[in-house]
Amino acid sequence: MIDAIQRFFSDFMAGDDASSAAGPSLELATAALLFEVARADYHFDDSELALLRELLQRRFDLEETDLDDLMRLAREEAEWAVDHFQFVSLVKQHFDYGQRYELVRMMWSLSLADGEQHHLEEHRIRRLAELLHVSHGDFIRAKLAEEEARQ
C-alpha cells in the first residue's frame, strides 16, 4: 500500500504522464483532506498533528514508517494541491455515506483539537462536507458530537 503511495509521489516528481492518470491512493486522499482542515487556520498545532496521526493510524492500521510516509506525503499534497477534486472524487468513489460522515466527524475532531473553534476551519469543513455530499444536517450532527466528546 505505502509502496503505491511512494511510487505515485516519485512519478509525480519525475513528471511521469502515467502517474497523473493514476492519481493518489485512497489513504493519501483521506490524509490530504484532513491536512487541509488542520492547516485551514494557517497554524499547525502539535495537538492537531498528534490527533491527525492517531486518526490515520486508527483508520488505516499502518506501520509506523508507513504512517510517517503517509503524513509527509499528505502534507505535501495538501500544500501543493490546486483544488480538492482528485481527493474528494476518490473518497466519494470508495467511501459509502457512513464513511464520508465519519471523515467529516474526523475533520471536526481535528478542528477542535487545539481547543479553539476557528471560522476558517469551519468553513473548510463545510465546503468539504458539501463536496463529499454529506448533508448539512449530518455536518452539524458531526460537529455537535465532537463538541460533546470534548466536554
Which domains does the chain possess? 2-12+24-150 (1.10.3680.10)
Question: With pLDDT > 70 as the criterion, what percentage of the chain qualifies?
Answer: 85
Cα 83 from Cα 80, distance rounded (Å): 9
Cα 149 from Cα 16, distance rounded (Å): 45
At 7 the pLDDT is 52
140 Cβ contact partners less than 8 Å away, ≥ 6 residues apart: none
For range 104-116, the mean pLDDT: 91
pTM, full prediction: 0.81
Which among 6, 14, 33, 18 is positioned nearest to 108, based on CA atoms?
33
